[in-house]
Amino acid sequence: MSKKHFGTDGIRGRVGVSPITPDFVMRLGYAAGRVLTNIDSHLAKGAHPAVVIGKDTRISGYMLESALQAGLSAAGVDVLLTGPMPTPAVAYLTRALRAQAGIVISASHNPFEDNGIKFFSAEGTKLPDDVEHAIEAELDQPMQVMESARLGKAKRIEDAGGRYVEFCKSTFPSTLDLRSLKIVLDCANGADYLVAPHVFHELGAEVITIGNQPDGLNINLNCGSTHPQALCKAVLEHQADLGIAFDGDGDRVMMVDNQGNLLDGDQLLHIIAMHRQQRGWLRGGVVGTLMTNLALEHAFGKANVPFSRANVGDRYVLELLNERVWQLGGENSGHILCLDMHSSGDAIIAALQVLHALHDSGKTLAELGAAIPLYPQVLINVKIQKRIDIKANPTLQSAVQAAELELKNDGRVLLRASGTEPKIRVMVEGVNREQVQDIAERIAEVVRQVTL
């Protein structure tokens, strides 16, 4: 059954345009409060359930936080406010404070004009589809305010940042430190701007921070993991050992070596996986996505590391990890999940895992990154006039099969429809860049012809 409002990562859109409006978000808070907290059961026992609310640094966060708070209070739910806090911090605090749910107000790597609402269960995990369906069903019901004596209260968690900093530090071996490293952090003018510098500084590193002056309008603006050019430049200017870039809500990470070269999520995942395998810590295999570079799959094959692909989206990576009872997975965008460390993807924790690998190997980030040169990958977004079933279209399938024969075992082709735009994404990768570009353009033209 399709969902009306929820996408792959909560509810997201342009602020002021449905559903990201104060009235809808207030009703969403009420509906989520009723579904996520088993409210009737709690109130029958004379107890108020609690929900943690965190947000990134967008100016619209103030408005949406107030709307959520009003809806939850009307449902009889107490609210614990963290202020600006990374998404994985809210997942952690939800578990640590024994709250019934966590809510993050963020549009992740999107520009400041967008915002969104995403939820965590009491265990600090993304909500399964059936719970999101239940919240949407509750949204269709009339909103009824609890009697005054049963309304929820709001409280600010004054030590939220400090709690999360200590949690992140606890995932790095207590016998190690970062005293030999000069690190540049790019906090994307987002949710990591307060906590991330403390984590790396308290572990001993010399820390230089950029993207740490949020004004409500500059989140992800020419900075962070989606615009790493500023970090590459800063690493070279400061002659740093490496750089770390976060996205606006702190669940994606990219890194830059001392030569100014960018390492994406695939390369970082490879470094973490191989370190764990060498130390005997890798449980099972590694999960990537349909967009994971083929070079990573080939590298894991040579190292006898099991590898599986999930659909694009960290929630699908998490689902497959749980299904396989594995611990490590991620996306090339920088979402990396280390389930032995945290219940959700966490950019700071993933970066610390890479730094642990650097320490144990005695190598630089440039040397570890060079172990897996990525294959050229070409992505063409084709605007379409009408939606079609890609798998059922013989013309498209014939074009894909011909391309795969041409690439042999040294490449692959992926066609997938965008979930948010009238586009089909054509991705081709292989060893030879010119060949990959040529095949991608040919298939894109076939897509245009069959969707006219």
CA distance 404 to 172: 43
Residue 422 confidence (pLDDT) above 90: no
pLDDT interval class at 9 (50, 70, 90): confident
pLDDT the model gives residue 385: 83
Q: In this predicted model, what pLDDT tens digit does every residue of 304-325 receive, in sequence order?
A: 999 999 998 888 999 999 999 9
Both tokens of 447, joined, read 């897509």
Sheet of 114-120: strands edge to edge? 11-14, 114-120, 101-105, 50-55, 78-84, 154-156
Q: In this predicted model, what pLDDT tens digit does every residue of 102-141 receive, in sequence order?
A: 999 999 999 999 999 999 999 999 888 889 999 999 999 9
Q: Annotated catalytic, 108?
A: yes
Q: Over range 24-37, report the average pLDDT.
A: 95
User: For the whole model, what pTM was predicted?
Assistant: 0.93
Residue 38 confidence (pLDDT) above 90: no
Structural class in CATH, domain 11-157: alpha beta
pLDDT the model gives residue 419: 66
Q: Smallest Cα–Cα separation from 304: which of 330, 333, 273?
A: 273
Are 246 and 225 a contacting pair, CB within 8 Å?
A: yes
Percentage of residues of the chain with pLDDT beyond 70: 98
Annotated active-site residue in 60, 73, 108, 343 = 108
Q: In this predicted model, what pLDDT tens digit does every residue of 314-370 receive, in sequence order?
A: 889 999 999 999 999 999 999 999 999 999 999 999 999 999 999 999 999 999 999
Residue 41 confidence (pLDDT) above 80: no
Domain 377-450: which topology? TATA-Binding Protein (3.30.310)
- 3 state DSSP class of 11: strand
Residue 39 confidence (pLDDT) above 70: no
Q: Over range 258-275, report the average pLDDT.
A: 97
pLDDT the model gives residue 420: 62
**Which residues of the chain are in CATH 3.30.310.50 domains?**
377-450
pLDDT interval class at 43 (50, 70, 90): low
Q: 50-55 and 101-105: which strand pairing?
A: parallel
Q: In this predicted model, what pLDDT tens digit does every residue of 145-199 receive, in sequence order?
A: 999 999 999 999 999 999 999 999 999 999 999 999 999 999 999 999 999 999 9
Q: Over range 274-278, report the average pLDDT.
A: 97
Average model confidence (pLDDT) across the chain: 94
Domain 163-262: which topology? Alpha-D-Glucose-1,6-Bisphosphate; Chain A, domain 3 (3.40.120)
Are 365 and 255 a contacting pair, CB within 8 Å?
A: yes
Q: Quick one: the chain helix, strand, coil %, rounded to 5?
A: 40, 20, 40
Q: Over range 392-419, report the average pLDDT.
A: 91
**Which residues of the chain are in CATH 3.40.120.10 domains?**
11-157, 163-262, 264-347+364-369
Residue 417 confidence (pLDDT) above 80: yes
pLDDT the model gives residue 37: 86
Architecture of domain 264-347+364-369: 3-Layer(aba) Sandwich (3.40)
Residue 421 confidence (pLDDT) above 90: no
CA distances from 338 to 160, 272, 285 (A): 22, 9, 12
Percentage of residues of the chain with pLDDT beyond 90: 89
The H or E element containing residue 256 is strand 253-257
- 3 state DSSP class of 42: helix
